[in-house]
Amino acid sequence: MFKELKLGNIAEGVSNVKQYLDLFGYLNSTLHSNFSDEFTLDLQSAIIKYQKNFNLKVTGQIDRKTYNIISQQRCGVPDIINGTTTMNMGNSNTTPFTPWWKAGKKVLSYAVHPQNNVSDSVKVLFREAFDRWSKVTLVNFTETASFNESDVRITFLELDGKGGTVGGADRNYSLGVGSVYLDSEEEWVVRGENEEGDVDLESVVMHMIGHLLGLGHSSVEEAVMYPIVLPEKKTELSYDDMQRIHQIYHVK
Ligand SMILES: [Zn+2]
């Protein structure tokens, strides 16, 4: 039985919600662990931001709909980074982005960690995902065998077990390297129908490449850049994704 929680309540599990909101940039807390089970004012303001970002009714409470979204699998990249968000609660449509790759480079190489030993069908999947983004950015990608010298490095590794975070992306400006992390403990689906709890690899890969190319999260559920993993496959760029990538690359 789900019970709504609001300011002043003390209940088991509130600390987990705080942990989640802290992880994804909503809680302005200096504390990053050992959260209490008390529904505090800063939790309330974090919940309000979260509800705005996910087009939920703004109640400031942990209600059922809010909790449903919190409990779904999602991208590990925060929604709010250093106080900035590209989701609803932000008021800027522009995404300032400086490429992390060496200036002037028009072709970026990518490789999957050799120990991950991915199948040919997974390689094709990556190829197609990169190609889809190339069309709207004119940044080209080519597969390489030398992982340690590649511009984009993709690794399957244990993150937080099945569920929770499915992966993340990181742009390292000093090394000039973009990284994609995928949780090896998810039930990844390469081709075919997803069963409950499965994660569609191509949809997540599309999302992570979007991060490498400069996009943050979107509040639009149909967008590739929506942070929550939905059961439906989502590999084609939505109107929202196209609008936002256009603001960075201006490809006609
Ligand atoms: Zn993401």
Per residue in 53-89, pLDDT (tens digit) is 999 999 999 999 999 999 999 999 999 988 888 898 7
231 near 196, Cβ under 8 Å?
yes
What number of other Cβ atoms are within 10 A of residue 120's Cβ?
7
Distances in Å between the alpha carbon of 80 and those of 73, 166, 172, 197, 208?
Answer: 18, 18, 18, 26, 16
Domains belonging to the chain, first-starting first, are 14-71 (1.10.101), 107-249 (3.40.390.10)
How far, in Å, is the centroid of ligand 1 from the Cα of 19?
18
Closest CA to 238 of 248, 249, 223, 250: 223
* Structure ipTM over 0.90, yes or no: yes
Per DSSP, helices labelled H in the chain are 14-23, 41-53, 64-70, 120-137, 201-212, 239-249
How far, in Å, is the centroid of ligand 1 from the Cα of 167?
8
Q: What is the pLDDT of residue 103?
A: 85
How far, in Å, is the centroid of ligand 1 from the Cα of 87?
12
How far, in Å, is the centroid of ligand 1 from the Cα of 77?
5
Q: Encoding tokens for residue 178? A: 């973009």
Q: How far apart are CA 101 and CA 209, in angstroms?
A: 14
Q: Write down the mean pLDDT value for the chain.
A: 93
**Residue whose token pair is 């010298």:** 149
**Residue 151 annotated as binding site:** yes
Q: How far apart are CA 178 and CA 154, in angstroms?
A: 9
What is the percent of the chain with per-residue pLDDT over 90, rounded to a whole number?
Answer: 82
